[in-house]
């Protein structure tokens, strides 16, 4: 395949609305741990030798994610965000603002916005802070309303000088929405949509530098930050704490935890919770973030996401980062401990975020 033909293939793909692409026939790769190859238009496996080659493989990854998650809705006619402030609480270094934004017509997403006190007309980098699993608290965990200090990263980062936003996940905290009665095939895709609308909100906020927006999350929030980063290239840096591992090493290959209605039920209903039947894996998903900075905090004692499965993904993605000359932007940190975002992990993660978003800690 010539360079011209590769560029034509990429351009033709990008021209199509993403919601249309998800239903088309797309090749599934038998070895998803090897990402430095792609299937050409004749179905022949070719080595990735250029960024244009990689874009073809990346397009296939996004296709195959949508086979399981359902299609990402079109962004051509977005509902107005129409933010409504419910409460403002003043702290010495920042304000905590409880609000809702309209993510779709007749669907409002609750969130906590943290804005540091700063000079007039000053703008700061912003971070979307996605919470771990908690039906009662949801966004309240990173917002500092829970009792686990390690998970209060929306507060940690506003104290560091960032604007931060912590929204609720589907049917957690104060947010109730049935994705399956509203055209979605997974709660995961509905969350991706909501989080993209959160980025719309941050981009428009007068205190935010829209060119410097990152995403951070633990556990549920750890993989949701990755999914958002893959589908929304406005995200300039992703940090995932205890958020993923390769599917064969997740719970010894039983993907039931990924297949309930709060995630992607096709994994249960159509793919029998079997990694071999999955059309994508995190080995590919992490590579699809390249060349943007990505840090995986993966404690060696995490009993949810096997650290060796995390290392598989970092290893698979590294040649793609190398292709972009960005190998130093891909970091795997493997601290002691279990399923937590502890102090030693944050001591690595927060400076990585500062550097990636060109932020000077306050």
Q: Locate tokens 């962004």: which residue?
A: 75
- Identify which of 159, 107, 106 has the alpha carbon closest to the alpha carbon of residue 129: 159
Q: How far apart are CA 62 and CA 232, in angstroms?
A: 11
- Identify which of 224, 245, 360, 261 has the alpha carbon closest to the alpha carbon of residue 297: 245
Whole-model pTM over 0.85 = yes
Residue 259 CB partners (closer than 8 Å, separation 6+): 265, 266, 267, 268, 269, 271, 273
* Residue 2 confidence (pLDDT): 38
* Residue 25 confidence (pLDDT): 74
Give 18-22 contacts, CB < 8 A, sequence gap 24+: 18/62, 18/66, 18/71, 18/72, 18/74, 19/71, 19/72, 19/73, 19/74, 20/71, 21/62, 21/63, 21/66, 21/71, 22/63, 22/66, 22/67, 22/70, 22/71, 22/72
Q: How far apart are CA 255 and CA 273, in angstroms?
A: 4
Q: What is the residue extent of each domain of the chain?
A: 37-69, 83-357
Q: In degrees, to the nearest 5, what angle opens at C-alpha 260 toward C-alphas 256 and 266?
A: 85
Write the CATH number of the domain with boundaries 83-357: 3.40.50.1820
* Residue 41 confidence (pLDDT): 84
Burial of 280 (0-12, 13-18, 19+ CB in 10 A): buried
Q: In degrees, to the nearest 5, what angle opens at C-alpha 283 toward C-alphas 183 and 341?
A: 85
Given the DSSP bridges, would you call strands 163-167 and 330-333 parallel, antiparallel or unpaired? unpaired
Question: Tens-digit pLDDT profile for the chain (362 aa)?
Answer: 333 333 333 333 333 334 444 445 788 899 999 999 999 888 899 999 999 999 999 999 999 999 999 999 999 999 999 999 999 999 999 999 999 999 999 999 999 999 999 999 999 999 999 999 999 999 999 999 999 999 999 999 999 999 999 999 999 999 999 999 999 999 999 999 999 999 999 999 999 999 999 999 999 999 999 999 999 999 999 999 999 999 999 999 999 999 999 999 999 999 999 999 999 999 999 999 999 999 999 999 999 999 999 999 999 999 999 999 999 999 999 999 999 999 999 999 999 999 999 999 98
* Residue 17 confidence (pLDDT): 38
Q: How far apart are CA 349 and CA 328, in angstroms?
A: 14
The beta strand positions in the chain, using DSSP E, are 37-39, 45-47, 84-90, 94-104, 107-116, 124-130, 163-167, 208-218, 237-241, 294-297, 330-333
Question: Tokens representing 312?
Answer: 């598989």
Packed helices 51-69 and 307-323: angle between N→C axes, nearest 10 degrees: 140
Count CB atoms within 10 A of the CB of residue 92.
6
Q: How far apart are CA 28 and CA 279, in angstroms?
A: 6
């Amino acid at each position: 395949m010539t360079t011209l033909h590769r560029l034509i293939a990429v351009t033709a793909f990008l021209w199509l609305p993403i919601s249309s692409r998800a239903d088309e026939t797309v090749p599934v790769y038998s070895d998803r741990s090897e990402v430095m190859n792609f299937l050409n238009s004749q179905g022949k496996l070719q080595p990735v030798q250029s960024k244009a080659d990689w874009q073809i493989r990346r397009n296939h990854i996004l296709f195959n994610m949508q086979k399981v998650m359902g299609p990402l809705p079109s962004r051509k006619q977005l509902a107005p965000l129409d933010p409504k402030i419910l409460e403002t609480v003043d702290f010495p270094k920042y304000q905590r603002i409880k609000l809702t934004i309209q993510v779709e017509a007749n669907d409002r997403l609750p969130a906590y916005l943290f804005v540091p006190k700063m000079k007039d007309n000053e703008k700061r980098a912003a971070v979307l802070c996605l919470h771990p699993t908690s039906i009662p608290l949801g966004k309240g965990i990173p917002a500092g309303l829970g009792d686990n200090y390690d998970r209060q990263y929306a507060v940690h980062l506003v104290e560091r000088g960032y604007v931060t936003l912590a929204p609720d996940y589907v049917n957690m905290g104060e947010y109730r929405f049935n994705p399956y009665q509203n055209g979605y095939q997974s709660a995961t895709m509905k969350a991706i949509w909501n989080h993209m609308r959160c980025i719309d909100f941050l981009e428009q906020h007068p205190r935010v530098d829209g060119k410097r927006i990152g995403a951070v999350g633990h556990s549920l929030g750890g993989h949701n930050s990755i999914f958002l980063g893959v589908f929304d290239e406005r995200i300039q840096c992703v940090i995932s704490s205890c958020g993923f591992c390769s599917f064969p090493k997740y719970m010894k290959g039983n993907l039931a935890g990924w297949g309930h209605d709060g995630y992607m039920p096709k994994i249960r209903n159509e793919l029998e919770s079997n990694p071999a039947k999955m059309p994508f894996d995190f080995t590919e998903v992490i590579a699809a973030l390249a060349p943007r900075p990505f840090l995986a905090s993966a404690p060696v004692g995490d009993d949810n996401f096997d650290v060796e499965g995390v290392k598989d993904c970092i290893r698979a993605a590294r040649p793609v980062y190398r292709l972009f000359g960005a190998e130093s932007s891909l970091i795997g940190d493997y601290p002691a401990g279990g399923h937590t975002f502890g102090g030693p992990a944050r001591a690595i993660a927060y400076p990585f975020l500062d550097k990636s978003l060109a932020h000077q800690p306050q």
